[in-house]
């Protein structure tokens, strides 16, 4: 019991701040609510938390983007509405990028900017959710990013989910088929690497997903917010294998979402892109006419959904994204070199957690240990994830529970490594050791 022991932050102070926050269940609180609680504990106690709750970049923004954006602004683009389809420079570089790094051919006309991949998924749901009146449901391969679920609630589209924890490898096939064969799913979404668990679907699993999506005419949305950030393999050489596994090599109809937020630490500028396979782009769906002026998928996505949502994407950020992608495509800039520090830090942090009584929850990719990257998930014996979040507050450690990620692993919490500095690592170890000493049986 914390009341009896020496916790790094005064027990009574944390208790009082929790009470003042009026949050009945800390483990269920949103990231923003936890943030404000921690700020107030830090202010009062003068002790810094080890912050692992926010999935934000911990590195400076890529200056290739900043310079390109500043130049574009100086050239006067701020006064002009951006072309709804995206500036040609960006469309060209997106098409090159997916060709060089995913080994797929997507024409420029099928590559569009969006204000971050969150906006890309919203636009995709607005369109895919309306292609077929019999298909009124979106499937999430979970655990996943809570905002995606919120997007569907906001627009009133049904959702269902599958926590893939027990269904990796060949086991995925039957389970997924049992859902898709009902015939009510329009599209499915997963992130790869995955937020929050950092599992990465293997080529074999993506083939299963691709084949079943073809069989039941379901459109996969592959959210690559952490593009190429599975550091177990070197995916960083433009045009050279190995390439990150993708469903796009196993299905003719797909959408890929790419974000600048993590790969270029450009989260503040809200720029990403939607890549639609040419086959899907050209398809006609008569049911789209219920909401859009054309049955054509590509037209409805761009001139129906994207236009309605934001009437274009901030002009200057498009030039920033184009310049960063061009530098990567030309082999002049290797973003993996910049972000692999997250993997190195995760490796150290995982060891600290597991040596102090914690277990990795989503532990394997088809039998292989998961990669070290931006996130990982842990549990501690006999606590639920929600309880654990609160218990860790007394130790000056913040994280989020897996409760609203669609995970069935109620014992799990998500650790994000991005904001933990190297200088904080010894302190993290000390706090985890103390936590374990106070709680082990
Ligand atoms: C899986 C996933 N998708 C999308 C996003 C958001 O990306 P963006 O900043 O481009 O909207 C995140 C950010 O945490 C994420 O984890």
Average pLDDT taken over every residue of the chain:
96
Axis-axis angle for helices 425-439, 385-393 (nearest 10): 110
Tell me, yes or no, whether 230 lies in a domain: yes
Return d(Cα 365, Cα 355) in angstroms, integer: 22
- The CATH number of the domain holding residue 314 is 3.40.640.10
Ligand 1 atom having least distance to the Cα of 272: 10
Q: Total domain count for the chain?
A: 2
Q: Which of 277, 302, 329 is the last residue of a domain?
A: 329
Q: What is the mean pLDDT of residues 314-322?
A: 98
Tell me, yes or no, whether 335 lies in a domain: no
pLDDT at 110: 98
Band of the pLDDT at 391, cuts 50, 70, 90? very high
Nearest Cα residue to atom 7 of ligand 1: 117
Q: What is the DSSP annotation of 99-137?
A: HHHH-----GGGEEEESSHHHHHHHHHHHHTTS-TT--E
Task: Indicate if ligand 1 lies below 6 Å from the C-beta of 264.
Answer: no
- Same domain as 367, residue 244: no
- Same domain as 402, residue 318: no
Whether the bond between 284 and the residue before it is cis, its omega within 30 degrees of 0, is no
Task: Indicate if ligand 1 lies below 6 Å from the C-beta of 57.
Answer: no
- Same domain as 266, residue 317: yes
* Residue 18, both tokens: 């929790």
Task: Indicate if ligand 1 lies below 6 Å from the C-beta of 221.
Answer: no
Ligand 1 mean position, distance from CA 118 (Å) = 6
Tell me, yes or no, whether 58 lies in a domain: no
pLDDT at 3: 53
pLDDT at 4: 55
Ligand 1 mean position, distance from CA 182 (Å) = 29
Ligand 1 mean position, distance from CA 127 (Å) = 19
Percentage with pLDDT > 70 across the chain: 99
Band of the pLDDT at 118, cuts 50, 70, 90? very high
Task: Indicate if ligand 1 lies below 6 Å from the C-beta of 272.
Answer: yes
More confident residue, 368 or 54: 368
Buried b (16+ CB within 10 A) or exposed e, 331-350: eebebbebbbebbebbeebb
Q: Which of 329, 355, 383 is the last residue of a domain?
A: 329
To test the pocket of ligand 1, the residue of 61, 197, 225, 342 to mutate (highest count of ligand atoms within 8 Å of its CB) is: 225
- The CATH number of the domain holding residue 399 is 3.90.1150.100
Task: Indicate if ligand 1 lies below 6 Å from the C-beta of 192.
Answer: no
To test the pocket of ligand 1, the residue of 118, 227, 414 to mutate (highest count of ligand atoms within 8 Å of its CB) is: 118
- Same domain as 205, residue 115: yes
Total Cβ atoms within 10 A of residue 35: 15
Closest CA to 213 of 190, 188, 194: 188
Ligand 1 mean position, distance from CA 117 (Å) = 6
Return d(Cα 4, Cα 292) in angstroms, integer: 64
Contact 401, 413 (CB under 8 A): yes
- Same domain as 12, residue 76: no
Nearest Cα residue to atom 3 of ligand 1: 225
Q: Which of 299, 329, 359 is the last residue of a domain?
A: 329
Ligand 1 mean position, distance from CA 422 (Å) = 25
Ligand 1 atom having least distance to the Cα of 118: 11
Task: Indicate if ligand 1 lies below 6 Å from the C-beta of 202.
Answer: no
Task: Indicate if ligand 1 lies below 6 Å from the C-beta of 191.
Answer: yes
Nearest Cα residue to atom 15 of ligand 1: 225
Ligand 1 atom having least distance to the Cα of 271: 10
Which residues lie closer than 8 Å to 168 by C-beta, 6 or more apart? 199, 205, 364, 365, 366
Q: Is the confidence at residue 324, as pLDDT, over 90?
A: yes
Tell me, yes or no, whether 56 lies in a domain: no
pLDDT at 174: 98
By residue count, the chain amounts to 441
To test the pocket of ligand 1, the residue of 125, 148, 195 to mutate (highest count of ligand atoms within 8 Å of its CB) is: 195
Ligand 1 mean position, distance from CA 313 (Å) = 17
Half-sphere exposure of 66 (CA within 13 A, CB side): 9
Task: Indicate if ligand 1 lies below 6 Å from the C-beta of 225.
Answer: yes
Ligand 1 atom having least distance to the Cα of 267: 9
Q: What is the mean pLDDT of residues 86-101?
A: 98
Contact 14, 47 (CB under 8 A): no
Nearest Cα residue to atom 12 of ligand 1: 225
Task: Indicate if ligand 1 lies below 6 Å from the C-beta of 285.
Answer: no
- pLDDT tens figures, 2-40: 455 789 999 999 999 999 998 888 888 878 888 899 999
Closest CA to 405 of 197, 158, 200, 154: 197
- pLDDT tens figures, 208-262: 999 999 999 999 999 999 999 999 999 999 999 999 999 999 999 999 999 999 9
**For residue 357, what are the CA distances in angstroms to 11, 50, 199, 368, 379?**
22, 18, 22, 21, 9
- Same domain as 175, residue 145: yes
What domain range is 34 assigned to?
Answer: 2-48+340-439
Q: What is the mean pLDDT of residues 121-136?
A: 98
Percentage with pLDDT > 90 across the chain: 93
Tell me, yes or no, whether 54 lies in a domain: no
- Same domain as 39, residue 107: no
Place of tokens 């469903």: 247
pLDDT at 24: 84
- Same domain as 68, residue 44: no
- Same domain as 173, residue 105: yes
Return d(Cα 265, Cα 336) in angstroms, integer: 12
- Same domain as 284, residue 155: yes
Ligand 1 atom having least distance to the Cα of 145: 1
Return d(Cα 61, Cα 65) in angstroms, integer: 8
What is the widest separation between alpha-carbon atoms in the chain?
68
- pLDDT tens figures, 274-309: 999 999 999 999 999 999 999 999 999 999 999 999
Ligand 1 atom having least distance to the Cα of 191: 1
Tell me, yes or no, whether 285 lies in a domain: yes
- Same domain as 401, residue 357: yes
Across the beta sheet with 375-379, the strand order is 359-360, 375-379, 413-416, 400-401
Whether the bond between 193 and the residue before it is cis, its omega within 30 degrees of 0, is yes
Closest CA to 406 of 179, 188, 144: 144
What's the start-to-end Cα distance of the chain, in Å? Answer: 12
- Same domain as 308, residue 177: yes
């Amino acid at each position: 019991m914390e009341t009896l022991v020496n916790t790094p932050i005064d027990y009574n102070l944390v208790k009082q701040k929790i009470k003042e926050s009026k949050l009945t269940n800390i483990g269920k609180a949103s990231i923003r609510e936890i943030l404000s609680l921690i700020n107030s504990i830090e202010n009062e106690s003068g002790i810094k938390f080890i912050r692992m709750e926010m999935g934000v970049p911990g590195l400076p923004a890529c200056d290739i983007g900043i310079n390109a954006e500043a130049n574009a602004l100086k050239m006067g683009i701020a006064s002009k509405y951006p072309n709804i389809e995206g500036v040609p420079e960006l469309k060209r570089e997106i098409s090159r990028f997916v060709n060089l790094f995913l080994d797929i051919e997507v024409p420029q006309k099928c590559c569009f900017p969006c204000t971050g991949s969150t906006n890309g998924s919203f636009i995709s749901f607005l369109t895919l959710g309306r292609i077929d009146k019999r298909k009124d449901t979106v499937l999430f391969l979970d655990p996943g990013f809570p905002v995606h679920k919120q997007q569907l609630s906001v627009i009133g589209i049904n959702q269902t989910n599958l926590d893939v924890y027990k269904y990796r490898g060949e086991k995925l096939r039957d389970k997924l088929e049992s859902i898709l064969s009902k015939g009510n799913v329009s599209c499915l979404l997963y992130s790869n690497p995955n937020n929050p668990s950092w599992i990465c679907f293997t080529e074999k699993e993506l083939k299963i997903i691709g084949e079943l999506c073809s069989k039941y005419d379901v459109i996969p949305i592959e959210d690559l917010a952490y593009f190429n950030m599975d550091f177990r393999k070197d995916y960083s050489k433009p045009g050279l294998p190995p390439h990150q596994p993708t469903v796009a090599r196993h299905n003719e109809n797909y959408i890929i979402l790419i974000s600048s937020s993590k790969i270029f630490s450009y989260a503040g500028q809200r720029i990403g892109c939607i890549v639609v396979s040419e086959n899907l782009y050209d398809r006609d769906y008569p049911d789209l006419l219920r909401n859009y002026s054309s049955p054509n998928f590509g037209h409805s996505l761009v001139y129906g959904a994207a236009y309605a949502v934001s009437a274009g994407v901030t002009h200057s950020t498009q030039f920033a994204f184009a310049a960063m992608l061009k530098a990567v495509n030309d082999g002049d800039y290797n973003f993996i070199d910049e972000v692999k520090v997250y993997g190195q830090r995760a490796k150290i942090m995982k060891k600290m957690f597991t040596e102090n009584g914690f277990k990795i929850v989503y532990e394997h990719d088809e039998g292989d240990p998961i990669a070290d990257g931006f996130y990982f998930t842990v549990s501690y014996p006999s606590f639920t994830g929600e309880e654990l979040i609160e218990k860790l507050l007394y130790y000056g450690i913040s994280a989020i529970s897996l409760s609203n990620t669609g995970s069935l692993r109620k014992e799990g919490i998500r650790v994000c490594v991005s904001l933990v500095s190297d200088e904080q690592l010894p302190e993290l170890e000390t706090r985890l050791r103390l936590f374990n000493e106070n709680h082990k049986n």
